[in-house]
Structures are given as C-alpha cells and as structure tokens.
Structure 1
Amino acid sequence: MTDLPQQTFDDAAAVLRSALTGDGDAVVGAFDAVVDRAGLDGAYGVAWCLAATMLGDAPAASGAALDFPGIDQAGYDTRWVARFVSAYANRDEPTGEALFGAAAADGLLPDCLLTLAGSTIATLRSRAG
C-alpha cells in the first residue's frame, strides 16, 4: 500500500481534521464519502493511511509485536483497531484486508473506523505532548 493516490491522503486528512474536533458524525461522513466515491477499497486505503500516521516513522519490522494491555476485554472496535494497526506494523496487508472485510460483514466497520480515527488523534497528541 505504498502507491496510494493523493486523494487517499487528502481523505485521510479530512478524517483526521474531523476527529481532531471530536466530531464523530463528520468522521463517519468523511468515510461514507470515500465509500461513495471509491468503494470499500478506498476506505481501506484511508484506514491504512491512518495506521501509518499512528505508527509514524517507526521502522518496519517483520514479526513486530505491539503491546495492548487488556485487549481481550476490550470492545470489538478497540480489538479491531489493535489488530489492524498490528497488521500495518507487520506489513501484513492480507490480514488488514481480512479484518476490514470482517468488520464490514459484521456491520461494525463505521464504529471501527471511528475508533481508529480517534486512536490516531490520541497517539498524535501524546507524541506532541
């Protein structure tokens, strides 16, 4: 997912701007606009971009393990974000695609994407502070 079109980065920026203001409806609306224009593949690209933003300039490492204390007790959306970000960290696009498809099939993709956007903003804020 290294050859993303500029539109994907623009869409990710729009999602983050909405998340930064705490406007969950606008985050979901931004993702809906991507789906309307580019389908679920477009939304996947934006989500992959958010995972990249969350991890920053961390070097790619095969078999990377991220620490998510208490993840087994977390809600579906939080577990999904942890697994999706882990897939990104390991450059495991098939797992990222499978997670994305499962959340869509379960009808929980909007919640997962909203949590991903919020987690990305929280990570950026903690890095800045």
Structure 2
Amino acid sequence: MTESPQQTLDDAAAVLRSALAGDGDAVVGTFDAVVDRSGLAGAYGVAWCLAATMVGEPVPAGVCALDFPGIDEAGYDTRWVARFVSAYANADADTGEALFGAAAADGLLPDCLLTLAGSTVATLRRRAA
C-alpha cells in the first residue's frame, strides 16, 4: 500500500512538529508508523518531502552543487543527509532511492531520518532568522 500525497504531507508535517519540539522519539515513532502503514516506500516519500522543504521553492534549474564543509569527516547519517538532499536538489530520484535502500540495508535508516528531520528544522529556523 502506498500513501496518498496528502497523507505524505501530513506525515512530514508531524515529523517536523516533533523535530521542532525536540522530540526525537516522536520523530522516529512517526516514521515507524508510516513504515507500518505504507512500508519503506511511504517513509521514502516523507523523507523526499523533508528534502523538498530543505531545498525550498523554486527548485534550482540544472545541476546543483550544495556546499557541505567538512562532509568527508562527518558521520554516516550526516553524509547520508547531504547526499540525499543533493539528490533531491538535482531531481535524481534514482540516487535518492539508492541512498535510502543502502541506509536501510546498513541498519542506519532511523539515524539518517532523525538527522534529516533535525537538519530540516535547522534550515527552517535559519530561514526565519
């Protein structure tokens, strides 16, 4: 079963509300509920929506290079977020799906999704300042 576009937006909003409140357990719980309801494809849709929130509108045309100073020294989850957001910014769903699958296979997807939620909140706060 896959999620409706509205359900994906609602789930992404729930993740962001929890992340804004600093409630990591609720962020993970929302993603777990999405996986229970719609499988990894549903969680991927929510993650892709969070990446869209980070990149913002309008999506830059052409190939994007995002600046992530010190990324090579960062942890797996931080490198994953940088690459996942870059995949979104470049409209490269194949790479996004590959990254998502690799994190799941490595058993690190929950950490990556938690970092993605935190990074999205940090981006929103930076824009609001």
TM-score relative to the length of structure 2: 0.95
CA contact (8 A) 1:60 1:91 kept: no
Q: Which residue of 1 aligns with 2:30?
A: 30
- Moved runs in structure 1, 4+ residues, more than 3 A? none
Query: CA deviation digits over 1:34-64, x for unaligned, max 9?
Result: 0000000000000000000011114332221
What's the RMSD between the two structures over aligned residues?
0.8
- Compute the displacement of 1:5 (Å): 1.3
Query: What count of residue pairs does the alignment treat as equivalent?
Result: 126
Alignment of 1:1-129 (within 5 A): 5-129=5-129
CA contact (8 A) 1:51 1:85 kept: yes
Identity of aligned residues (%): 83
> Is 1:62–1:91's contact at 8 Å kept on the other side of the alignment?
no
Secondary structure of the corresponding residue to residue 59 of structure 2 = coil
Where structure 1 has 5 or more consecutive residues not aligned to the other structure, the ranges are none
Structure 2: runs of 5+ lacking an equivalent? none
Distance (Å, rounded) in 1 between the aligned partners of 2:92 and 2:51:
12
